């Protein structure tokens, strides 16, 4: 390998490491980006959960309630948003990804960050 190639390789490796540590920091802070999550919410969730998070149709929970569904652990909420959820005596289940299968894992994390920021301040 020519010395210049070695140098280039070192730069690639170093920038990869920086990108990786940036990702790690983001993950430890809960991951999601609320401003990106807003678009996800308004594109997919708002029809059932409403602009104010109190629920637009019967059976949807009130996100603004202090002891409500958003007080659950993020891992639980990520699971319920991604895979769908039906509580006991539910009048209607929550569809997986709100019925929008185009949503990525990142979209789900972002929309959860938005829910916390907008409706349940913690
Ligand atoms: C078709 C209507 C509909 C759409 C669209 C929808 N939801 Fe729901 N969601 C519901 C209903 C109904 C429930 C209550 C289900 C139950 O308790 O059985 C629910 C429950 C929830 C819960 C609480 C789950 C729990 O653990 O109790 C969260 C969080 C949630 N939705 C987030 C979202 C997000 C984020 C989106 C958009 C990606 C979304 N929902 C889209 C109908 C919807």
- Residue 22 and residue 37 in one domain: no
Nearest CA to ligand 1 atom 17: 87
Nearest CA to ligand 1 atom 24: 80
Domain CATH number, residue 72 = 1.10.760.10
Q: Which residues are bridge partners to 94 per DSSP?
A: 85
- Residue 91 and residue 112 in one domain: yes
Nearest CA to ligand 1 atom 8: 94
* Mean pLDDT taken over the chain: 86
Contacts for 44 with CB less than 8 Å, ≥ 6 apart:
97, 98, 99, 100, 103, 111
- Residue 50 and residue 99 in one domain: yes
pLDDT at site 120: 85
Ligand 1 environment, Cβ below 6 A: 40, 44-45, 47-49, 59-61, 69, 72, 77, 80-81, 85-87, 90, 92-95, 97-99, 111
pLDDT tens, residue by residue, 4-30: 666 665 655 566 555 555 544 444 346
**Domain residues for 49?**
31-118
Show the tokens assigned to 5. 């190639």
Q: Is 40 exposed, middle or buried (0-12, 13-18, 19+ CB in 10 A)?
A: buried
pLDDT tens, residue by residue, 53-85: 999 999 999 999 989 999 999 999 999 999 999
- Residue 25 and residue 39 in one domain: no
Listed in order, strand segments (DSSP E) in 1-122 are none
pLDDT at site 26: 44
Mean per-residue pLDDT, 88-108? 96
- Residue 26 and residue 38 in one domain: no
Atom of ligand 1 lying closest to residue 47 CA: 5
């Amino acid at each position: 390998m020519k010395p210049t190639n070695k140098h280039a390789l070192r730069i690639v490796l170093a920038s990869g490491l920086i990108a990786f540590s940036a990702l790690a920091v983001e993950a430890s802070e809960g991951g999601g980006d609320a401003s990106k999550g807003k678009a996800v919410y308004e594109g997919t969730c708002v029809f059932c959960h409403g602009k104010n998070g109190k629920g637009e149709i019967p059976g949807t929970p009130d996100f603004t309630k202090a002891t409500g569904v958003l007080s659950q652990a993020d891992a639980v909420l990520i699971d319920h948003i991604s895979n769908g959820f039906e509580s006991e005596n539910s009048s209607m289940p929550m569809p997986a990804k709100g019925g929008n299968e185009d949503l990525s894992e990142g979209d789900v994390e972002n929309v959860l960050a938005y829910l916390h920021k907008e409706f349940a301040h913690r």
